[in-house]
Amino acid sequence: MFSIHGSASRLCDVASRRELLSIGGLSLIGLSLPAFLRQQAIQAASNPSGSSRSSRRSGTAESVILVYLQGSPSHIDLFDPKPEAPAEIRGEFRPIATRAPGMQLGEVLPMLAEQAHNFTIIRSLGVKPKGLRNHGSAIYMLMTGTDPNNFSSTGLAVPPSRDDLPSIGSIVARQRPSTSGGLSYVAVCGAVKEGKEVGVGQSAGILGAAYDPFTMYDDPTLPLKLEAFSLPGDVTLDRLQSRVDLRSSIDAQRNETSRQSAAKVTATFDTYYDRALGLVQSHRAVQAFRLDTESDATRDRFGRTRFGQSCLLARRLVEAGTRFVQVTWPARSDDEPVPGPDGSWDTHRNNFSTLREHRCPVFDRTMSALLADLAERGLLETTLVVAVGEFGRSPKIGVPTTDNVGPGGRDHWPECYSCLIAGGGVKPGQVYGESDRFGAWPKNNPVHPYDLITTIYHALGIDPATEYHDALNRPRRLVEHGQPVLGLF
């Protein structure tokens, strides 16, 4: 499905869920959608104060790729090595030098080390958890920028609902919709999963289905199914155009709008019909999903894995004008780590063999390829890339904080962890912040997860102080609290 938007307005002026255009819905394409587009323009014109652009924008981002490593890798073993710490903390991996002076990574990321001139590492990300130290609450905070309030007394996630607060991608889709012919928010590779619940913190919640992600969770190593982009039955574009007689609708709409106070909207109804039909006729979004048009060399460069081909798909989507793409690691957040390219990062046991043999070879190849490919195509300056899990892993090996750690394992650790951030105006090749000598707590320049989310909005020119109203009509900011990390730019 495509999401069609008019001018941005404040979130409390939430538009109808009919903003969602289903390619198969002839009534939406023929009549209701153009009427909606015009009505939205009238609404925006009558509320000109709703601009979401920040006057202090320092980023250059036009798109975002959020690489969500659900299950959470060990920050000490990947991004923040501690070679001087005791063996039970530093672990089995040696630090290696990178192309960025002074930055070291774990030895399991040699290809990323060669791309360090294209990214920055934040080593002081952390939060004192609200409630239990589990995946669900941390996911909700990371995905929505709000404290978790929809969990059971045991800390388990409840099923996602329209009462949830909106995800980052949904906010971006609302505040900075893609241009005509593009998709605003796409989620690929895998769904966010916590326990038995699917989609925790990933939907638009109270904003309505119009801002939910377009999801493509098919295995991209196989041919993708693109039926969602097809017209129904024997309907062709020519037949669609000939079926829809807009003359009476145009007259009726003009009579209606003449009674509106917002008569300054001068675009004709034909303009909005043309926009709606133009989306159906556009091949940009459809072509982005055709990975088979990429060369074998490029596909091999990203890795012929579910994660690798999904990141290649993310680049193609951004190239086609998509505003926000979320690539979610395909294993459930609290799955037991298993061999193979798609297993979990939740290494409560066998942390080092799992990272060395399975997780890091896939992540290292794909993430380095994504950054290099974006840079070579001139897209990195306008594409903000963030790779992060919901928390880090415990500094001390094999010592439980949640009674669930086996031999060689690291437990949950939300108090301090790392993330990779690149592009969109972020100065590359730097390390921002510092953890203490054990990687347990931020030592300087602490960054709350909400600061990270605010930074994403800031890079896109979205004012994080923008308000909307929740299901109880209470005003809410886009982020519970936090400031953009201006030192990254």
Name the region of 197 (left: φ>0; alpha: ψ -120 to 50; beta: rest). beta
**Phi, psi angle pair for 105, to nearest 5°:** -125, 170
pLDDT at 59: 80
Distance CA 51, CA 455 (A): 18
* Helices and strands, number each (H, E), in the chain: 16, 20
Beta bridge partner(s), residue 64: 324, 384
Q: Which helix (H) or strand (E) holds 36?
A: helix 33-46
Nearest to 387 by CA among 153, 86, 120, 198: 120
Q: Cβ distance 203 to 170 under 8 Å?
A: yes
Longest CA–CA span in the chain (Å) reads: 79
Amino acid at 10: R
Distance of alpha carbon 234 from alpha carbon 127, whole angstroms = 55
- Distance, in Å, from the CA atom of 154 to the CA atom of 132, rounded to the nearest integer, reads 8
Residue 383 near residue 328, CB atoms below 8 Å: no
- List CB contacts of 339: < 8 A, sequence separation 6 or more: 357, 358
pLDDT by position in tens, the chain (length 489)? 343 333 343 344 333 333 333 333 333 333 344 554 454 444 444 433 344 444 456 689 999 999 999 999 999 999 999 999 999 999 999 999 999 999 999 999 999 999 999 999 999 999 987 666 789 889 989 999 988 766 665 556 678 888 889 999 999 999 999 986 678 999 999 999 988 889 989 999 999 888 999 999 999 999 988 776 665 556 565 655 555 444 445 555 555 555 544 434 444 444 445 444 544 555 677 889 999 999 999 999 999 999 999 999 999 999 999 999 999 999 999 888 899 999 999 999 999 999 999 999 999 999 999 999 999 999 999 999 999 999 999 999 987 665 678 889 999 999 999 999 999 999 999 999 999 999 999 999 999 999 999 999 999 999 999 998 877 788 889 999 999 999 999
Residue 372, H or E segment: helix 360-376
Cα(83)–Cα(95) distance, rounded to whole angstroms?
A: 7
What domains can be seen in the chain, in order of their start residue?
A: 2-51+236-281 (no CATH), 63-224+289-466 (3.40.720.10)
Nearest by Cα to 386 from 142, 163, 190: 142
Signed CA dihedral, 346, 352, 358, 359: sign only: positive
pTM for the structure as a whole: 0.82
